[in-house]
Amino acid sequence: MALMITDECINCDVCLPECPNEAISQGDEIYIIDPNKCTECVGHFDTPQCVEVCPVDCIPKNPSYPETPEQLQEKFLRLTVEK
């Protein structure tokens, strides 16, 4: 599953540079995660780096994007090829 940022986000900017897939950007009101780029950090790290650093714990899984670990790995490979 891709992750998502909820409206509890305080726009602190800490998560953005931590994302290995450049999936995080500043939205109109809060930061947002592109579900097509978020692999839950699969392929790069053992744990989601944005969740590790977020001070208000507002980055849950996005229920609209159910994905298996295998699908996340495939997404990682696809993103790597596109780079």
Binding mask 8-27 for ligand SF4 (x = CB under 6 A): -xxxxxxx--xx-x-xx---
Regarding 72 and contact with ligand SF4 (CB under 6 A), the answer is no
Rounded to 5 degrees, what are φ and ψ at 33?
A: -115, 130
Element (H, E) at 25: strand 24-26
What is the three-class DSSP state of 31?
strand
Regarding 79 and contact with ligand SF4 (CB under 6 A), the answer is no
Cα(5)–Cα(1) distance, integer angstroms: 13
User: Which residues lie near ligand SF4 (CB under 6 A)?
Assistant: 3, 5, 9-15, 18-19, 21, 23-24, 31, 33, 38-41, 48-50, 53-54, 56, 58-59
